[in-house]
Amino acid sequence: MRISELDTPFLLVDLDRLEANLDRAAAAARAADLKLRPHTKTHKTPQIAQLQLARGAAGITVAKIGEAEVMADAGIDDIFIANQIVGPLKIERLLALAERARVSVAVDSTDAAAPLSSASAQRGLRFPVLIEVDIGLQRCGVPPERVLDLVREINTLPGLNLAGLFTYPGQVYASRSENEVAGIAAYECRIMGDLARQVTPIAQVADRISGGSTPTLPHYFADCGLTEIRSGSYVFNDRTQIDRWAAKPENCALTVLATVVSSPEPGRAVLDAGSKSLAADLAPDSPGHGVLKEDNAALLIKLNEEHGFLDLSQAQLKLRVGDKVEVIPNHACVVANLFDEMAAVRGSEVVETWPIAARGKLR
């Protein structure tokens, strides 16, 4: 089947671009002697996780137990849930999942760790946990100066095995230059390396000092302080990654195929893709909600739920009702969460259709 035969809106992944993105990240991780444990929240699709593992990924990262369950169903065995697990229902599911896959999770407080500790100890398990360190994002995690205290507290809890430390330098998305990105990566490495040395005498964490993001990916090196990175967005890239010097438009593998449904006057077209298929997320610097793959000067200036307002005034491209176009979105991860499936395409052909099996796994 050809792309042009698909109904719209349809989510497309360009396999040539995807494979190049996967290869580039795998090479960067290898060059820096880092394990790559990609965050699969970006694609939520077991087939793509398998492509990452085939290129040497050392396990995967997910955000939710539901995502981990889907990936375990697909036979993936080493899964890190980079998120706090809170509540008895989740702990029960987590322990059930651990019977069929190697799973580790985040902790950042004894409040969150204690219920998992009890439940795990009751089953005679030592559940692998990684302490989340906050190096500036101010989301979850403990600040570096409190890590040693938390290590000592976790050490007193039964049923847990402190297996590593991790951080997420998400503040990189607020940086204003590529130099600043490099500086954040350097800071991350220094803090995490220092912590690894401080903690090692009282807990065996040295094998998993985990960090990383897509913008910081090119800025690591051997013995930088980390042993593992969890970059996610590099798989698809998007306008956010372009804004953060991590990609060019021609590296963007995920697009939304859309149809022009109305063109009330020249220079203006309305697409059948709005915030229900592109999400309302803004890019850090670039205006609007997306650009066309066919002509990057064609800008989606506004989204309603089912309508994309396309401004063609700066574009060469002319469009009329019925024409199909591909939109490069601001934020690929949330777009993949809005579709039930994606078409894997090569050139103008649809090669396969992949269910986005972990779409909507919110819990």
Residues that bind a second copy (CB under 8 A): 7-10, 41, 63-64, 83-84, 86-87, 89-90, 108-109, 111-112, 115, 134, 138-143, 170, 259-264, 268, 270, 272, 275-277, 279-282, 304-307, 309, 320-322, 333-334, 337-340, 360, 362-363
Rg over alpha carbons for the chain, rounded to the nearest Å, is 22
Minimum CB separation of residue 251 from a second copy in Å reads 21
CB nearer to a second copy: pick between 9 and 26: 9
Minimum CB separation of residue 326 from a second copy in Å reads 15
- Per DSSP bridges, beta strands 341-346 and 60-62 are unpaired
18: which DSSP letter? Answer: H
Minimum CB separation of residue 271 from a second copy in Å reads 10
CB nearer to a second copy: pick between 34 and 64: 64
Angle at 65 between CA 59 and CA 68, to 5 degrees: 30
CB nearer to a second copy: pick between 201 and 264: 264
CB nearer to a second copy: pick between 119 and 261: 261
List the structure tokens of 176.
């204003």
| DSSP string for 258-298 | EEEEEEEETTEEEES--HHHH-SPPPSSS-SSEEESS-TT-
CB nearer to a second copy: pick between 88 and 124: 88
CB nearer to a second copy: pick between 32 and 300: 300
CB nearer to a second copy: pick between 28 and 299: 299
Minimum CB separation of residue 307 from a second copy in Å reads 6
In the sheet that holds 35-36, the strands lie side by side as 35-36, 228-229, 209-211, 160-167, 127-133, 102-107, 78-84, 60-62
Contact criterion met (CB below 8 Å) for 229 and 210: yes
Task: List the one residue out of 95, 28, 77, 38 whose CA is nearest residue 333.
Answer: 38
The interaxial angle of helices 110-122 and 88-98, nearest 10 deg, is 50
Minimum CB separation of residue 132 from a second copy in Å reads 8
Longest dimension (CA), the chain: 70
Minimum CB separation of residue 320 from a second copy in Å reads 7
The interaxial angle of helices 178-199 and 147-156, nearest 10 deg, is 40
Minimum CB separation of residue 222 from a second copy in Å reads 30
Contact criterion met (CB below 8 Å) for 44 and 76: no
CB nearer to a second copy: pick between 34 and 106: 106
Minimum CB separation of residue 330 from a second copy in Å reads 9
CB nearer to a second copy: pick between 219 and 331: 331
Residues recorded for the chain: 363
Minimum CB separation of residue 322 from a second copy in Å reads 6
Say if residue 9 is preceded by a cis peptide, omega within 30 of 0: yes
Task: List the one residue out of 195, 189, 188, 199 whose CA is nearest residue 222.
Answer: 189
